[in-house]
A and B are shown apart, each in its own frame.
Chain A
Amino acid sequence: MRKVGMRLSGAIGLFALALSFALPAPGAEVKAESLRGPRIGELYMVVVRDPDAAVLALERGKLDVLGDVTRPSDIRRISKNTGFDLSMAQGFHMAQVGFNLRKSPWNAPELRRAAAMAIPRDRLVRELFSGYSAPLTTYLPPLSPYCDKAASAPRFDPEGARALLGKAGWTWDSSGVLVPPKGKSPLPPATILSPTAGVAPTTAELADRIAGSLREIGIPVKAEPLDFAAMIQRIDEHKFDLYLMAWQLSRDPDSLYAFYHSSMDVKGGYNQTGLKDAKVDRLLEDLRYVPDEPAARVAAKAAQKALADRIPIIPIYTRFSVAAVSKGWKGTVSTKSMTADNSWSLLSMSPASGPMKPLYWALGDEPRTLNPFTASTATDWQVLGMVYDTLLTVNPNDLGDLPWLARSWKVETVKDPGGRHTRLTFALRRDVFWQDGSPFTAKDARATLLFLKKNAIPRYFDSVRDIASVSVPDAHTLVVTMKNVSYWHLHSIGGTPIFPAALLGRVKDWRSWQPARNSVPGKAGLTELYGTGPFVFREVRPGDYVRFSRNERFWLIPR
């Protein structure tokens, strides 16, 4: 078995020590390009919604793979069982405290900086998360290739916070509450919004403790737990002082634009803090419309530096994800960014001994829909990801781009009378077949992109809206010209699942299309839910399981 354990960065060394007793030692990098498979003949994705029942099912041998184990008690319990390998990865989770910069006193940068210095992240994370999270000071997830660890929020230093405020003219009244410079009255009581303890017990407790830390330096804050939808409404209506919220981001730094550009302080936008800063706007525009990868790194660094100076939010912690795999299987792949429950593992897993057998993989929720145009939940895409492929994929080691349906690509900036444009040229693999046996060509990719653009499908809207034209010079070359210049178009287009052109022509209404229910004439056992991916969808038993079989035509199966 090629065993690749978790790797933890030096930044979380203390937590690595706390975990080392329970989890496997760091392993070697996996050569994703060299993996060949899948070997598994039959895959069952089993729906187990209750986390307690999922752990019991794992222990009783009813499940082979259980991902997203979040409760420390479950992790400890599984780690004591010698029948499982645990893997842990850092992921892109970020929990942060946001300020309402639209109103006083939160528009005072020295107050925000002092607040950041008053919060003992290390202690809070250690006490509340039993080591299964790491303190966070950066504005992008530390795992992102674009994260600048030097551009970080201030470290815990309550005395320094008091000194900073004093130097800026803040004073304290007789009860220890801060009084603004030139002001006569102390700060009015404020609240920090958080989800309720019933929904997110640790987050609610964390909000309470953060409020306590802020009170220590004279900021009169208390936690205000709210139903999640009510909390979002309060934030959208700008009726808040501070909030504590967690996000699941991606490897790209473009989320900074969504969070901090002034144009995103609108209905449906994510600039919840209301940051309006011309310099930040300019830097974020540079980042969004950057022409190539090296320039992207420079622009991302500059944007993070500007944010670290302004502190619109205080990063608090990032949660690790943990997955368990039965030792009855070998060949799992895990890296510092991916736990073993990933598609690379599915390519290389096989029984540790004995003949091939079905693999039972836990789904923490029921897929809501198997229509790839309306599917939106992570569970939906866990299932659909078995069937559909993209032009590019993410390298599990360094999170860079890896060839997938496209064996190579080129990103250029071209000029025409209409201005400058990004042009993406993909050279596609010639050995790829759809699961119905027909060959995959550039026409399929073109039909997919044009279909998604023409129908303005919400899930794909942002990925394809800037497409100016799509051409197919030959059967295995795809050229996509965008309306503007942005390196991130590569990831948007390269990360879009590709559907068979023959099928798209038959989709009358993409909203109500139910591909898993329609069989393909003349192809026994094949439904319209087919792609080029490693597994063929066979059946779904709502509430129970989704069954797949190996795609014998998959291009990574050795022939």
Chain B
Amino acid sequence: MRGYWARRLGGAACVVAIVLVANFFLFRLMPGDPVSTVLDPRFSPQAKAELEALYGLDRPLAVQFLIYLERTATFDFGLSFATQRPVLDEILSRLPNTLALLVPAYLLSVLLGTALGVLAARRRGRAAEKAVLSAGAISFSFPSFFVQMVLLLVFAYVFPVFPLRGSLSIPPPQGTWPLLADRVWHLALPIGSLVLLGFGGWALTVRNLVVKVMGEDFMVLARAKGIGERRLFWGHAFRAVLPPLVTLFLLSLPGVVSGAVLTETVFSLHGVGRFLLDSVLGQDYPAAGGAFYLLTLITVASNLLADFLVQFTDPRIRTGERTST
């Protein structure tokens, strides 16, 4: 058991180290640099040299790399080129908005998708399954910006039930509860759109996994033993599909964060996703490097957590037992 986790942690550290190095060099290998894309004839070559010095880009690459390594190790990613504020501050100031958007949207998508997937699997060949399959396919295949713009048009413009933009009314209401209600009202449409776009994939995956498991030999045996349908489903079939679902849930997390870019743009939200995109487009090396580094850590942590949790959902891969036998 200890050896297994040592190997897993060692592997994770290697991944982080590789991403660290790639993070530094890939951005610098991209065409252009933060100074060359300043296009203003009133900005002389000497002024650009001052800007390079301000960004620290006038130093040798090896020195820049060492500074970068030192900063990353201490979670001090330096100052963003664009804002001249610490990158970590920039990310942390946006994180609450992104979490308020993504956590409920992701959980609701997973819960709704799982419930509908289970429903479809248990009602095979019936109208409910067809409805779920169709809804899932539509939800899964529509481009997010299109769906979100249509929702904005219908529910914020034609029928102005929700606000058109932002995370707060202008001016914001006074008092904690009215302010909270205002936040919820502003986030309802973006969250609703993400649920609408996200539940389909889960519904189809859960339905397919459950259908496959229901046909397995152990299920036939359990049914032959006379186990009731309810226990058969929840105690055997659903438990069997839990490990891949847990893994999928955790491995999808980083993608959800980076996928917030379009939602934050369409609904004018101030979040990490948009920051990530702006940093890459603006060749803001410290900001993009910091954001990708944190995304890497989330991915690696999600992987490790998935490995850890799978032990509890799937008795066949309890590593400690395996190594002791």
Pair A60/B37 contact, Cβ less than 8 Å: no
B160 CB-CB contact with A under 8 Å: yes
B301 CB-CB contact with A under 8 Å: no
Pair A511/B268 contact, Cβ less than 8 Å: no
Nearest residue in B to A57 (C-beta to C-beta)?
B164
Interface residues on B, range: 35 or more
Pair A512/B47 contact, Cβ less than 8 Å: no
Q: Which of A60, A247, A544 contacts B39 (CB 8 A)?
A: A247
* A53 surroundings in chain B (CB, below 8 A): 152, 164-165, 266-268
Within 8 A of A (CB), among B1-39: 30-32, 35-39
Pair A49/B268 contact, Cβ less than 8 Å: yes
B322 CB-CB contact with A under 8 Å: no
Minimum distance in angstroms from A489 CB to a CB of chain B:
13
* B165 surroundings in chain A (CB, below 8 A): 46-48, 50, 53, 57, 62
Minimum distance in angstroms from A546 CB to a CB of chain B:
10
B48-62 Cβ-contact flags toward A at 8 Å (1 or 0): 111100100000000
* B164 surroundings in chain A (CB, below 8 A): 53, 56-57, 60, 62
**Separation of A118 and B265 alpha carbons in the complex (Å):** 41
Pair A541/B43 contact, Cβ less than 8 Å: no
Pair A60/B160 contact, Cβ less than 8 Å: yes
A160-185 Cβ-contact flags toward B at 8 Å (1 or 0): 00000000000000000000000000
* B152 surroundings in chain A (CB, below 8 A): 52-53, 56
Minimum distance in angstroms from B278 CB to a CB of chain A:
8
**Separation of A52 and B164 alpha carbons in the complex (Å):** 10
* B171 surroundings in chain A (CB, below 8 A): 44, 358, 547
**Separation of A472 and B270 alpha carbons in the complex (Å):** 45
Pair A369/B83 contact, Cβ less than 8 Å: yes
B143 CB-CB contact with A under 8 Å: no
B44 CB-CB contact with A under 8 Å: yes
* B50 surroundings in chain A (CB, below 8 A): 456-458, 461
Nearest residue in A to B54 (C-beta to C-beta)?
A458
Q: Which of A247, A458, A543 contacts B41 (CB 8 A)?
A: A247
Pair A56/B48 contact, Cβ less than 8 Å: no
Pair B44/A462 contact, Cβ less than 8 Å: yes
**Separation of A255 and B93 alpha carbons in the complex (Å):** 39
Q: Which of A47, A249, A255, A369 contacts B166 (CB 8 A)?
A: A47
Pair B270/A56 contact, Cβ less than 8 Å: no
* B268 surroundings in chain A (CB, below 8 A): 47-50, 53, 543-544
* A358 surroundings in chain B (CB, below 8 A): 171
A450 CB-CB contact with B under 8 Å: no
B85 CB-CB contact with A under 8 Å: yes
A103 CB-CB contact with B under 8 Å: no
Within 8 A of A (CB), among B78-97: 79, 82-85, 93-94, 97
Pair A46/B45 contact, Cβ less than 8 Å: no
B149 CB-CB contact with A under 8 Å: yes
- Can you list 25 A-B pairs with a CB-CB distance of less than 8 A? A44-B170, A44-B171, A48-B165, A48-B166, A56-B156, A229-B32, A230-B31, A232-B32, A232-B37, A247-B39, A249-B41, A250-B42, A268-B48, A270-B41, A369-B84, A374-B83, A458-B51, A461-B50, A462-B43, A462-B47, A512-B85, A514-B85, A543-B271, A544-B168, A547-B171
8 extra interface residue pairs, beta carbon distance < 8 Å, beyond A48-B165, A56-B157, A542-B93: A53-B267, A228-B32, A249-B41, A267-B45, A270-B41, A457-B50, A462-B43, A462-B44
Residues of A within 8 A of B (CB): 44, 46-50, 52-53, 56-57, 59-60, 62, 227-230, 232-234, 236, 247, 249-250, 254-255, 258-259, 264, 266-270, 358, 360, 366, 368-369, 371, 374, 376, 456-459, 461-462, 465, 511-512, 514, 541-545, 547
